[in-house]
Amino acid sequence: MKTKGIGGRLLKLTGLDNAVHAVPYARCLRRINGLMQLDERQLRQFQQQRLRTIVRYAYDNVELYRRKWRQAGVHPDDIQIAEDLKRLPIITKDDLREGFPDDIRSREFRRDDCFMVGTSGSTGTPVRTFVDLDKAMVDFSLSEPRYMADLPPVTVPRMVRDWLIRRNIRFMSIFVDNELAYETLYARVFSMMRHTVVDCLQPPSVHIAQLNAKKPRYLHTYASVLRNVCIAAREGGVQVHRPELIFTTGEVADPHLRALVNETLGPGLLDSYASVEFGFIACECPRHEGLHVFTWKVLVELLDEEGREVPDGQAGRVVVTDLFNRATPLIRYNGLGDYAIRKDLPCSCGRPLPLLARVEGRMVDSVILPNGQTVHPYSLTLALEDVPHLHKFQIRQERSDYIRVLLVKDRTQEGRTVSFSPGGAVGQSILGRLRTILKNQVKVELETMEDIPKSPGHRKHATVVSLVRRD
């Protein structure tokens, strides 16, 4: 969404644009507070009502769904309850990429009426989509620690105080910070929050300095950022401010990371399951018994290889339906590429939201240069997100001075004619970008493949793999 006209620009200059969005944000907070209080029966009723509404909306307004559902012989009237979803075809990343922009954006939204967001490439297959303001407000609200951690909210007076003083602030995030990043969209909507964003592509020393300078009570970031911060602090003998609560997202928070964070930053780590396409999907309970799925916001299926729902306790591929986004509705989308296990027991916290016992998600390593400098993996994946006809990739650091990049072309007619050869224009562009990021300290080779091999014991391939270890 763009600021329109002289009046819009004046609002932004004076900071009054924050006031414009403050009222709908406050309404959204109240609404979500009510949704989080629903019991199991009320949650199911709300979910099914939203499902019927979004299915009808997608059919009436989005060309991708109208075409695919007609081909499958399915009509919105056939979808009344969650169990009916299996009648609808799966939507893939290729569907979004091939339909972008006009076939995936609702005809009710012009380009300037919504936000275009894009993945960081952490899955190895970047994609872009559209989000409307109402849907974005829901995710802004869910970043509030009151809902899952039972901690005080970030109020408007507190927001103003933090903007003026910028020390002992309530909230800070360390994420990709560009115009497509959904994680930092809140700071583009509420300009008063710009100071709370730190670019994850900066070195860990900058992250540590910002943590110590601003002393946030809550921190929201990627697991890979936390790992780099903890290692840099330990190696440098540096004391780091300890936030009361740390939310991780976008990557798996494994037991090794939890132990590292507990030693360096304290015990307040909660994992969340989120993506650019959906925003928040689930969040870890403070009792650490699993991740509560926001069933009033998303509908999560866990499917086997034949597309059937797996029993509780077994791993299934994650397929998600968003119940709120109208700019690009996502219904039965499997493009996250994650696997999860549903827990059959209720949580002792008493919340009726169902639990995921475990998510096997994105796997990314940081790259260590020969001079010891750490390069965040998203610096590399973002450099490949707009390469034409690149379907998926893997960046493999096999020695400190050697990286091999595995590339898979898409299967379109145009893709067959594209070459990723180091001597071609596209190959030269890829090499130039990566060498610049790696400060010409590393030899980079490109290799075009039919597919990316998966790591033993994993159902998906890691996007950035480093065999050079520091911890």
Give the model confidence (pLDDT) of 155-207 as tens digits: 778 888 999 999 999 999 999 999 999 999 999 999 889 999 999 999 999 99
* Residue 295: band (very low, low, confident or very high) from pLDDT cuts 50, 70, 90: very high
Angle 370-260-154 from CA coordinates, rounded to 5°:
110
Pick the CATH number of 367-466 from 3.40.630.30, 3.20.20.140, 3.30.300.30, 3.40.50.720: 3.30.300.30
The answer on pLDDT for 10 being more than 70 is no
* Residue 122: band (very low, low, confident or very high) from pLDDT cuts 50, 70, 90: low
Contacts of 44 (CB under 8 A, 6+ apart): 295
* Residue 396: band (very low, low, confident or very high) from pLDDT cuts 50, 70, 90: very high
Q: Specify the CATH superfamily of domain 9-360.
A: ANL, N-terminal domain (3.40.50.12780)
The Cα diameter of the chain in Å comes to 64
- Give 157's DSSP letter: H
71: part of which helix (H) or strand (E)? helix 63-72
* Residue 326: band (very low, low, confident or very high) from pLDDT cuts 50, 70, 90: very high
The domain spans of the chain are 9-360, 367-466
Partners of residue 318 on adjacent β-strands: 302
Tens digits of residue pLDDT in 30-65: 999 999 999 999 999 999 999 999 999 999 999 999
- Give 91's DSSP letter: B
The answer on pLDDT for 320 being more than 80 is yes
Whole-Å CA distances, 438 to 198, 369, 380: 21, 7, 9
Helix (H, G, I), strand (E, B) or coil at 442: coil
Return the percentage of the chain with pLDDT > 90, whole number: 69
Tens digits of residue pLDDT in 245-264: 999 998 878 888 899 999 99
Per-residue confidence (pLDDT) for residue 1, from 0 to 100: 66
Whole-Å CA distances, 311 to 59, 315, 344, 357: 31, 8, 9, 13
CB 343 within 8 A of CB 290: yes
CB 231 within 8 A of CB 470: yes
Q: Quote the crossing angle between the two packed helices 204-214 and 223-236, to the nearest 10°.
A: 90
